[in-house]
A and B are shown apart, each in its own frame.
Chain A
């Protein structure tokens, strides 16, 4: 099993003061800190001023690369020998594949309109329930393999409460996932910083405190904003994705701005934050630092092929966006459920 020391050794760059575990204790430079804060506020301002434009631009430019970066991150976190984690990873893999396929079928059914209102309601609630049960199962399996405490049992009441909410308001529950997903990246970055750049922790937490400030500013400015003009398929899809029709009596401008702001942060974290915190070890095209490549019982060819395929998929996605942005966006956000789900087991393993 890969230890924190291994991960830290991958990450810390040269010329930094490091602990035995590989974590750099050098503080973040004031210039970098200021630049990060400025980026967060500029992203919020752009999201408020031109939400549709920012959504189109960021999804086009960063959706593919950030998935590639996540793939590289997850591959790095896979242990060379599964050992006692075999059951955990089996459940994780089955859940990611099964729930993604089910989600795609759900999207197809919703688009074709064959289910009607009742069918769609039940199907959405069932998918939500399956996702909650899967997460609770992962927490239970993970908790039972860990030596300390039995805190995982608290996942049972929390899971039941989430199941209840997913049946009371299935669409709202699914929308909550859309808004919560970008925040998970911030958690990953926090864990990465604690592993490899401990000196950045305080500056990062201060930057995190900017997030609610930016959100409150957005909501304050846009609470009474007129709905966005939904001219064309792309605008309609963006507005729907942000929750128009699910969240009543809220300006669609506010919804789209909030969603785009969080998505932009999400892309920034995976494409800039995590690689910077990890050093050069997490560049998607470099496979040398992956335990499954280095280990004598690893799968170096398969891992290299996966990373090359990831890069090719990014290029293909860009071409498809150029050819038909609206359709590609639909397909992308359906398939992208896989990376949303894949974050769960890897996040659990960092806790």
Chain B
């Protein structure tokens, strides 16, 4: 695998320092996940040349776009990079057709050729009947498609998508995501997709980068992140309980107090994840073989969308979330403030080196 994009970015936005390294192969879709304010958008803007770097280097298909070591800097208009902005930013004074033709015109296509190509792109996006419309007349989904067509029109080597579905409702999101995957199939460049929606990222991306407080905390395939999240945020994304601790054989002393017994021994700093379904709640001291048993107070109870399961957040030395059936929830009379016995089998606890 040859790397089409190799970027080392070190920049500052407001009070936040953003330091990330991003690598991707041609045709690869890399999802960039992170909470609000993590620096995701700044990272994209820097790659596009819209935000200055303090230190770093951006190489795209062998071409050095920016290198602070020798002062090289390619202005945004000369980078083979296209952006779909979070708010799409379709030019309100231009028709849909002229919006899509804008990049082609700017990069030197003749008017007629640019319009013909724009029509083709709109037809491929199923929007040829909207060519004469103004952006304000489009639905959210249509505007999103036009923005994507506009960005792909110049055949960029790097496509940057900043929360491209952010403005859509749940229904339109599904359609837009399917449309995006279709459109990206013929895109041979690198795609970076910034999102804070893990479902979206896992569905679309080949690889994920998790950015927190300006730093990459984890990079890997969706499976790797699902199995071994390296931060609380990452664990939350994939719905796992996450604890930091110190391993001493099969015992893990948890950072917040208390300890857990695991099946496979680990020494030194470890990360521990427990699936919420592996956390059992009961009204009295359990008689089973579970090695980890303690009493906790229920903090909150949230029903899931189907209404047949509930997520129960417990307080105490080991604040875990348990997923139980609603039947069990009623039987145990789980409600905030209630006392329950929590038990987890040692074999259900995954621990790995921090």
A joins B in a complex: no
